[in-house]
Amino acid sequence: MSLTRNRFNLFVSLSCLVGYGWLILIGRLKPEEVGSSYDVCLIRHFAHIPCPSCGSTRSVLALIHGDLAGGLYWNPLGLLIFSALLVVPFWMGYDLLLKKETLFRAFGFFEENLRRKWVAIPAIVLILLNWVWNIYKNV
């Protein structure tokens, strides 16, 4: 992994900031209004089909409002993003305060394991199934 710890921390911090900023910008809308108001997906914009992660914002918004079924319906990947947005800032704060690199190491471990065939193939299949479901739902 060529990403250094400092770059990784900067990247994760910026990602979380953009993620929270995006949710604040979008938060005033109802989940079903998001897709039509703010379309950031280039695949949906040009090919007119949703991408595997389309509906994630709506899913996170539904989860924020305590609607687990809605969150899973819009996009199950939203659950991952919601969990990451909840956990990562605290995890990073812990690392920065105690001058540790547990998050960076966990990322390396995740990346290393995802390269293994028995992890990568089921993950790709799940993403493709989710994509098919997204196209079917036309989120």
Binding map of another protein across residues 75-104, x = CB under 8 A, - = no contact: --x--xx-----------------------
59 touches another protein by CB under 8 A: no
**Can you say how many angstroms the Cα of residue 139 is from the centroid of all Cα atoms in its chain?**
16
Contact 45, 54 (CB under 8 A): no
Residues 6 or more apart whose Cβ sits within 8 Å of residue 85:
16, 19, 20, 23, 60
Q: How far is it, in rounded angstroms, from Cα 131 to Cα 93?
A: 34
Q: What are phi and psi of 38, to 5 degrees?
A: -125, 100
Stretch that binds another protein, among 14-22, 28-36, 65-73, 89-97 (CB under 8 A): 14-22
The verdict on 41 binding another protein (CB under 8 A) reads: yes
Site size toward another protein, by CB under 8 A? 26
Cα torsion through 88, 94, 95, 97, rounded to 10: 140
Whichever of 70 and 79 has its CB closer to another protein, that residue is: 79
Told to check if 115 binds another protein by CB under 8 A, we report yes
Tell me the closest approach of the beta carbon of residue 8 to another protein, in angstroms.
Answer: 9
Residue closer to another protein, measured from CB, 28 or 97:
28
d(CA 85, CA 83): 6
User: Which residues contribute to the site for another protein (CB under 8 A)?
Assistant: 1-3, 15, 18-19, 22, 40-43, 51-54, 56, 77, 80-81, 107-108, 110-111, 114-115, 127
